[in-house]
Structure 1
Amino acid sequence: MSGNGKKRPPLVADKRYTAKPAAKKAAGPSKKPAKPAARRKVAPKRAKPRGVIGWILAAFRWMTRLIWALSWRVGLVTGLIIGGFSLYFASQLPDASELIDGRTRGSVTMTDLSGSVFAWRGDQFGGMVTAETVSPHLHNAVVATEDKRFYRHFGISPRGIASAVRINLREGRGPLSGNGGSTITQQTAKLLCLGVPFDPNVWESERAYEADCRQSSLWRKAREAVFSVGMEIKYTKEEILTIYLNRAYLGAGSRGFEAAAQRYFGISAAEVNPAQAAMLAGLLTAPSANAPTRNLQRAQDRASVVIGLMEEQAYLTPEQVRDARLNPATLSDAARASSGGFFADWVMDSGPEFFTRNTTEDVIIRTTLDQRIQNAAEEALLQVFENDVKEGSEAQAAIVVMSADGAVRAMVGGRNISATGAFNRATQALRQTGSAFKPFIYAAALDLGMSPYDMVDDAPTCWQRTGSPNWCPENYDREFVGPISLVDALATSRNIPAIVVSEEVGRGLVSSVANGFGVQGDLAAGPALALGVSESTLLDMTGAFAGILNGGSAVTPYGLTDLRLMGDDTPLMDASSVGIGERIIRQEAARQLTWMMTKVVEQGTGTRARIDGWQIAGKTGTTQGSRDAWFIGFTGDYVTGVWMGYDDNRRLTGVTGGGLPATIWRETMQRVLSDQQPTPLPMSIPERPFATGVLESQGGEAPAQDILNLLDSILTGTN
């Protein structure tokens, strides 16, 4: 079988092996073997979150990424917007010097008779100061108190705002209520009202304008921040601080630190020591409440806190701190004198409006006030109320002291002697005058030629009234004494004789004399005119009595002597000669009336007003129902009026004009006259006639024929 010569086919087993490769060809270049492809690295799969916590963490991570992505974009856009608006505001701002005095009205400074300042009204501006010219202690106190990072920020302090919001929320307030975290630059921006000027056509008042400037809202804060950055671009730090030092309100009408230093200490802001600087800086948080003229102890306590801040920030040495606390700042004599507030308010109300209440200039007014007399009146009133008036009583009193020509020397408008802008009972309260009106009745009678010794019948009498029952008045003691002389009738304040004389000379003449002397308003038309049922103010009544003292000429009470602009020596107005007017009664009649009124004090209803060694003329007054009590009297130099009563017109208990008002009058005048020589009164003592007739009361109709017969008998000597 092996030799059959045929080729054998491959075995099946051989097919399982790969055939050997063929031999390489010698010809042609050899090819480089291809590099194996790189294998892709596959990141390990993140384990899927498991459970609720996993899902929360995933959501938090996603939210964080979103917030960050939005924040930096919004921040960038916001920064660009703030920068753009800040640059705009910076381009609109004027020079810093033009922003120093931002007042929309001026000030009034009042001096007394001797030229000493005693009162300020309006917005006081003491003149421009700069951050370099004020006392270094004041500069440091303001920075330490208001913005210790002032020189390190660019107008706003995120750290300060965050701290303020935290404090406000912790104390239960809104985030923008209370602490504001404002920098000095932001406070200055607020003082500038973000560049919006006052327009009287837009704002109801300056107060409304300032209230809008001070409002706190998110939008307002945003505008304030932008404006502040604009200020930092436009001005240097010292210029910003200068604007702030000149425009900040510091209480008592003081605008700026120069005005405040002069107002409280009587010195310049360049001269204040550490204690004074601390007190001034402490006023910035609450200028009205912390003003030393209002509460000196509170101002000193606040100053102590400021001193502590200055010490912490190394502005004061331990020795300076110790000295400042041992010797706290106090008020100057002028600032300490709280007297004259009612007088100053009256001068402001009575002066020309465009130079007082609505002045846009800085005005100096010289007045008639005598601070020695003012202090005497205040001390007297307080002493009597403390010693002689029941504790808790709400009764009020007022005092006016003037010279015979109407120059007002003192004025107390109520028991709160330090009040300003309060209701002035000396000038604003219209009250019935009671028997204090009676001198005008006798003035009219004496001017017609009647004698103080003429007799009148004090007897029960009724007067007819149209459409009403007859009027049958009584005397205060409800007794009748019969025939009585005019001088005795006035001294004992008899009602019936006063009515009889008033009806005899004529009500029209009595009203004309009273009006001529300065008792203003419409006087009663009936016979009750004689009992003082008409109303008047204490100022007018005191001025009317001054007319009697000066010989019978009308007097206009005045307090303004001259007025000039600050820095100008030429007065714009001179009112020193406005007091005495036209003659109302004959001089002899006035002199006789003065003598009659001395009997009121010597032996009549006004004996409590007597002062040893002095001639005093006066008249008591008590109205129906004892709702008003008066005593008005005068020496040779001064006329003083006192009123007492309740504001709500309640009845006074146990008070008449000859009681507490006469006591207040005496206490006042004893202080006023203590160092003076007695001055005699200008009076005439009439000669007593041989005999007198009696004016009988007959329902208001005087017996004319009896009077003619009486005069005839006197002339012929038959009576």
Structure 2
Amino acid sequence: MSDSRRRPKRLVADRRYPKKAATEAPAKKPAPKRRKTATPRKRRNPVVALVLGLFGWIFGLIWKITLSVGVIAGLVLAAMIFNVQSGLPEASAMLDGRAKGSVTLLDNRGAIFALRGDQFGGVVTAQSVSPHLKNAVVATEDKRFYQHFGLSPRGIAGAMRINMSEGRSALSGHGGSTITQQTAKLLCLGVEFDPTQWKNEAEYVNDCRRSSLRRKAEEAIFAMAMEWKYSKDEILSIYLNRAYMGGGAYGAEAAAQGYFGKPAAALNPAEAAMLAGLLTAPSSLAPTANLARSQARAATVLRLMNEQGYLSDKDAAYYQANPAVLSDQAGNLRGGYFADWVMQSGPEFFTRDTTEDVLIQTTLDQRIQKATAEAVNQVMSKLREGSKAEVAVVVMSADGAVRAMIGGRDTDASGVFNRASQAVRQTGSAFKPFVYATALELGYSPLDTVVDEPFCMNIPGSGQWCPENYTKNYQGRVTLTEALKRSLNIPAIKVSESVGRDLVMKVARDFGIVRDLHDTPAMALGTSEATLLEMSGAYAGILNGGSSVTPYGLVELRLKGESEPLMGTGGGMGERVIQPSAARQLIWMMEKVVTEGSGTRARLPDREAAGKTGTSQEARDAWFIGFTADYVTGVWMGYDDNTPLTGVTGGGLPAEIWHEVMVRVNDGLPVNPLPMQAPEAPQVAPQPAPQPAPDSVQTVPQGGRDRVRDGVAETVLQQLLRDILGGGN
């Protein structure tokens, strides 16, 4: 039996944390477990340890040096950039950097026909130009312009990759230049043109554009200094004002006005793309040089604008299909040879080397210039393929005012050799009118006679000389008019020797043939030389009644913005050379050349014309110079290297060109008669006794009886003039 008095045990969990005895010592930390004994490590080779330690020390030293050098180089670079930017002027002072001024040439009606020098239309800014132009330039030249700091590492890397892929060195060819770097080049890194340091502006520009590692480093520093000093739009403004855009135009305004006849602010996307496209090759891509090539480049620029979000697909397609074209004014710019001649004839400090902007009023008639070019192109197109024969044409008024000038087969060229004003060539029979002008002035009549027959002369120091006619046929006794009309050589020599070679030379010089004249009997056949411009001016003297003429193209020169001219014309009519009656009779004789003689291919359908053919020795030069009542026109053909012409004489293609020019020039003008005078019937005198010398002029000219001197008939008036001039044979 159980003891009911025993209490049952409490049903509780065991005490987890028994109380520590007050006197119980703190429990000791368990001893750490002993690691299992590892395999003993091999000791490092002391040599290896030394080498590794040495390399570590060297690497650390290099890193410290590199870091130090980098910090120092950065500080030096920052100092250099700061130094450059502190010397930069305000952006507004950098906009017009032309070393030369401009020359604008105006025709006889005041319209612009040519531009020379450095044209500058005025200051523009990135905000004032058309936004299309701004976008086109950025899209084409530097699409990250507004993000970089003056240099574009990505662009430089891309350019190096392209250069190497094309087989060049990394730094040859494409440069990856930003607009800022290009502007630095345009500014020549802040160095201005100094004529004492450079021979000319071209040498200065070449020096500015030279490519070397040092130059590129300097350019990079200058570019970053510009980024520090100027805003992006200020840099772009400098670029838009200084960039050359072809056709002599510097800056966007000059290009916009010159090509499109509108301000840069009004350009549409097609026009803006064309200007932006010029920046890579302004001379060859200029629309005035090759419009089709310029339009093709503009199409590429429009595509870039579209790809970069500046132009919608619709607009890009529209302007690619409707490219920019030249304005009427730009399309009508012509007269390059004439403009070059005026620039050469004017004072250098106001033309070729001007530092001012100059306006020159000229005598050019653009209607006549265009007509002349059309005529030349039409006739020269008939030449056999491969022919290199050249041509020159001058049209002028009787007072010497030049109205048109063609200096070569490329009728609108400029900056090239001008055969109208620079080529000095033998004149051939075109010289003969001065022989007959001398005879007429001395009183001979166009109806006086001379014998055309085989003829020889003894030339002191040279022996016997026996000239021949071009056809080698002889006509017997002929009038002076017949001799000139058929361009007979023997009568021209006899008349020249009869009247006195010295007088012929004086008359020719007074009319404007200023080159050395050969003082030999052959002078009468045109062995001396002259330019086409000089010969045309001499014929103008015949047309105007016998007064000398100095051909001129410059009427007035003044500075832009000024009303008072700085200089006027330096040409025009001068002293009288022969009497008006002699001039009128000579015109009558020359009219027969065109209607009945060697120049019939020049005959005009509706008006009188007079002129003279000319073919030099071995047909190296062919001339036709003639006139109507209103204009004198001279034509020359030949080879630059003096190769003889084949089947060409003055009465052939030159006369045909003359005809085509004058038909167009006189179109619509009133028909005026030539100022010519038919001669009176000659007074026949008894023949002098036969002489050993060859027969010469056999009639008595007005003004005196014949008297014989060395077997050549001679007038008393002639002998008197000989004595006065102190010459004679």
Q: TM-score, normalised by structure 2?
A: 0.87
For the structure 1 residues 222 and 710, does the alpha-carbon distance in structure 2 shift closer, same or farther, using more than 3 Å as the test?
closer
Counterpart for residue 193 of structure 2: 198
- Alpha-carbon separation, structure 1, partners of 2:298 and 2:699: 83
- Alpha-carbon separation, structure 2, partners of 1:538 and 1:669: 17
Given that 1:483 and 1:694 are in contact with CA atoms closer than 8 Å, whether structure 2 keeps it comes out as: no
Residues 67-96 of structure 1: per-residue CA shift (max 9 Å, x gap): 766654443332222211111111100111
- Alpha-carbon separation, structure 2, partners of 1:516 and 1:45: 119
Q: Secondary structure at the match of 2:189?
A: helix
Matched, 1:299 2:294: yes
Given that 2:590 and 2:612 are in contact with CA atoms closer than 8 Å, whether structure 1 keeps it comes out as: yes
Equivalent runs, 1:612-691 vs 2, <5 Å:
612-689=605-682, 691=684
Counterpart for residue 15 of structure 1: none
Q: Calculate the aligned-residue CA RMSD, in Å.
A: 3.1
Aligned to 1:393, which of 369, 387, 391?
387
Counterpart for residue 354 of structure 1: 349
Residues 525-549 of structure 1: per-residue CA shift (max 9 Å, x gap): 1111100000000000000000000
Residues 49-84 of structure 1: per-residue CA shift (max 9 Å, x gap): 9xxxxxxx9999999978766654443332222211
For the structure 1 residues 396 and 697, does the alpha-carbon distance in structure 2 shift closer, same or farther, using more than 3 Å as the test?
farther
Bigger mean CA offset, 692-701 vs 404-413? 692-701
- Alpha-carbon separation, structure 2, partners of 1:65 and 1:486: 109
Residues 389-428 of structure 1: per-residue CA shift (max 9 Å, x gap): 1111111110000000000000000001232111111111
For the structure 1 residues 254 and 456, does the alpha-carbon distance in structure 2 shift closer, same or farther, using more than 3 Å as the test?
same
Equivalent runs, 1:102-251 vs 2, <5 Å:
102-251=97-246
- Alpha-carbon separation, structure 1, partners of 2:286 and 2:170: 28
For the structure 1 residues 328 and 483, does the alpha-carbon distance in structure 2 shift closer, same or farther, using more than 3 Å as the test?
same
Given that 1:134 and 1:271 are in contact with CA atoms closer than 8 Å, whether structure 2 keeps it comes out as: yes
For the structure 1 residues 90 and 450, does the alpha-carbon distance in structure 2 shift closer, same or farther, using more than 3 Å as the test?
same
Residues 466-501 of structure 1: per-residue CA shift (max 9 Å, x gap): 122211101111111111111111111111111111
- Alpha-carbon separation, structure 2, partners of 1:48 and 1:310: 67
Q: Secondary structure at the match of 1:238?
A: helix
Counterpart for residue 487 of structure 1: 481
Given that 1:504 and 1:700 are in contact with CA atoms closer than 8 Å, whether structure 2 keeps it comes out as: no
Given that 2:181 and 2:219 are in contact with CA atoms closer than 8 Å, whether structure 1 keeps it comes out as: yes
Matched, 1:561 2:590: no
For the structure 1 residues 92 and 694, does the alpha-carbon distance in structure 2 shift closer, same or farther, using more than 3 Å as the test?
farther
User: Given residue 309 of structure 1, which amino acid in structure 2 is its aligned partner?
Assistant: L
Counterpart for residue 590 of structure 2: 597
Residues 156-184 of structure 1: per-residue CA shift (max 9 Å, x gap): 11111111111111111222222111111
- Alpha-carbon separation, structure 1, partners of 2:401 and 2:216: 54
Q: Secondary structure at the match of 2:342?
A: helix
For the structure 1 residues 654 and 202, does the alpha-carbon distance in structure 2 shift closer, same or farther, using more than 3 Å as the test?
same
Given that 1:461 and 1:698 are in contact with CA atoms closer than 8 Å, whether structure 2 keeps it comes out as: no
Counterpart for residue 549 of structure 1: 543
User: Given residue 559 of structure 1, which amino acid in structure 2 is its aligned partner?
Assistant: G
Given that 1:554 and 1:581 are in contact with CA atoms closer than 8 Å, whether structure 2 keeps it comes out as: yes
- Alpha-carbon separation, structure 2, partners of 1:487 and 1:457: 13
For the structure 1 residues 45 and 314, does the alpha-carbon distance in structure 2 shift closer, same or farther, using more than 3 Å as the test?
farther
For the structure 1 residues 613 and 539, does the alpha-carbon distance in structure 2 shift closer, same or farther, using more than 3 Å as the test?
same
For the structure 1 residues 85 and 472, does the alpha-carbon distance in structure 2 shift closer, same or farther, using more than 3 Å as the test?
same
Aligned to 1:92, which of 87, 106, 120?
87
Residues 436-471 of structure 1: per-residue CA shift (max 9 Å, x gap): 000001111111111111111112111111122211
Residues 246-288 of structure 1: per-residue CA shift (max 9 Å, x gap): 0011111111111111121111111111000001001111111
Counterpart for residue 445 of structure 2: 451
Counterpart for residue 533 of structure 1: 527
Residues 571-590 of structure 1: per-residue CA shift (max 9 Å, x gap): 11121x73000100001100
Counterpart for residue 475 of structure 1: 469
Counterpart for residue 283 of structure 2: 288
Counterpart for residue 586 of structure 1: 579
Given that 1:693 and 1:710 are in contact with CA atoms closer than 8 Å, whether structure 2 keeps it comes out as: no
- For structure 2, the 5+ residue unaligned runs are 1-24, 46-51, 709-714, 716-729
- Alpha-carbon separation, structure 2, partners of 1:208 and 1:47: 73
- Alpha-carbon separation, structure 1, partners of 2:108 and 2:223: 48
Residues 1-36 of structure 1: per-residue CA shift (max 9 Å, x gap): xxxxxxxxxxxxxxxxxxxxxxxxxxxxx9x99999
- Alpha-carbon separation, structure 1, partners of 2:626 and 2:159: 62
Q: Secondary structure at the match of 2:266?
A: coil
Aligned to 1:264, which of 252, 259, 267?
259
For the structure 1 residues 446 and 173, does the alpha-carbon distance in structure 2 shift closer, same or farther, using more than 3 Å as the test?
same
User: Given residue 588 of structure 1, which amino acid in structure 2 is its aligned partner?
Assistant: S
For the structure 1 residues 81 and 601, does the alpha-carbon distance in structure 2 shift closer, same or farther, using more than 3 Å as the test?
same
User: Given residue 559 of structure 2, which amino acid in structure 1 is its aligned partner?
Assistant: L
Counterpart for residue 321 of structure 2: 326
Given that 1:456 and 1:694 are in contact with CA atoms closer than 8 Å, whether structure 2 keeps it comes out as: no
- Alpha-carbon separation, structure 1, partners of 2:379 and 2:685: 43
Counterpart for residue 370 of structure 1: 365
For the structure 1 residues 67 and 123, does the alpha-carbon distance in structure 2 shift closer, same or farther, using more than 3 Å as the test?
farther
Q: Secondary structure at the match of 1:270?
A: helix
- Alpha-carbon separation, structure 1, partners of 2:141 and 2:53: 46
Residues 217-251 of structure 1: per-residue CA shift (max 9 Å, x gap): 11111111111111111111111111111001111
Q: Secondary structure at the match of 2:265?
A: coil
- Alpha-carbon separation, structure 2, partners of 1:460 and 1:502: 16
- Alpha-carbon separation, structure 2, partners of 1:698 and 1:351: 55
- Alpha-carbon separation, structure 2, partners of 1:345 and 1:693: 58
CA drift of 1:200 comes to: 1.1
Q: Secondary structure at the match of 1:630?
A: strand
User: Given residue 241 of structure 1, which amino acid in structure 2 is its aligned partner?
Assistant: L
Matched, 1:424 2:414: no
- Alpha-carbon separation, structure 2, partners of 1:344 and 1:78: 55
CA drift of 1:702 comes to: 6.1
Given that 1:176 and 1:216 are in contact with CA atoms closer than 8 Å, whether structure 2 keeps it comes out as: no
CA drift of 1:316 comes to: 1.1
User: Given residue 480 of structure 2, which amino acid in structure 1 is its aligned partner?
Assistant: L
Given that 1:458 and 1:484 are in contact with CA atoms closer than 8 Å, whether structure 2 keeps it comes out as: yes
- Alpha-carbon separation, structure 1, partners of 2:371 and 2:687: 45
Given that 1:503 and 1:701 are in contact with CA atoms closer than 8 Å, whether structure 2 keeps it comes out as: no
Identity between Structure 1 and Structure 2 (%): 60
CA drift of 1:710 comes to: 5.8
Q: Secondary structure at the match of 1:416?
A: coil
For the structure 1 residues 234 and 688, does the alpha-carbon distance in structure 2 shift closer, same or farther, using more than 3 Å as the test?
same
Q: Secondary structure at the match of 2:264?
A: coil
Given that 2:151 and 2:181 are in contact with CA atoms closer than 8 Å, whether structure 1 keeps it comes out as: yes
Matched, 1:311 2:306: yes
Bigger mean CA offset, 75-84 vs 669-678? 75-84
CA drift of 1:339 comes to: 2.5
For the structure 1 residues 225 and 454, does the alpha-carbon distance in structure 2 shift closer, same or farther, using more than 3 Å as the test?
same
Give the count of matched residue pairs: 675
User: Given residue 598 of structure 1, which amino acid in structure 2 is its aligned partner?
Assistant: E
- For structure 1, the 5+ residue unaligned runs are 1-29, 50-56
- Alpha-carbon separation, structure 1, partners of 2:158 and 2:484: 76
